[in-house]
Amino acid sequence: MITVGLIARAGGLNKELIVSLIPKSVTLPFAIDISHIYGGNPALTVTFVVATGTLGGIIGPAFLSWAGVKDPVSRGLALGSVSHGLGIASALLESEEAGAMAGLAMVLAGIITTLLAPLLMPLLAG
């Protein structure tokens, strides 16, 4: 949230676009509500969330292998927290343990994002 918010602000994007981008790394139900509450465009948020999940689900496993991450718990946590449902599917293809960790990570990322959004959104979106 912080990184994308700062990059979007540095790029001169307007508030609506910044708010629509910030929740891109959580699953759709959380992201849509966060975007709507803070004045973002939920349709744009859906696009950003789907693109993030798709890219992470496709590239994530190869990137983790390239980085030398072999532990199924670590791989599952990484894929679930970054790539949402597609990350869970990718992790399940590797092992049940990785899939379970991915599911847990997706839920925890949503909860943490929902709790941090009221604090970070005013600072990041302006």
Read off the pLDDT of each residue in 41-67 and give the average, rounded to a whole number. 94
pLDDT tens for each residue of 69-115:
999 999 999 999 988 888 999 999 999 999 999 999 999 998 998 89
Q: According to DSSP H, which parts of 1-125 are helical?
A: 2-10, 15-21, 28-37, 42-66, 72-94, 96-125
pTM: 0.85
Binning pLDDT at 50, 70 and 90, where does residue 125 land? confident
Residue with tokens 């899939």: 99
Over the range 64-81, which residues count as b (16 or more CB within 10 Å of their CB) and which as e? beeeeeeebeebbbbbbb
Contact 122, 20 (CB under 8 A): no
pLDDT of residue 126: 73
Q: How many residues are given for the chain?
A: 126
Across the range 51-77, mean pLDDT stands at 95
pLDDT band, very low/low/confident/very high, at 25 (cuts 50, 70, 90): confident
CA angle 47, 97, 26 (to 5 degrees): 20
Q: What is the pLDDT of residue 85?
A: 87
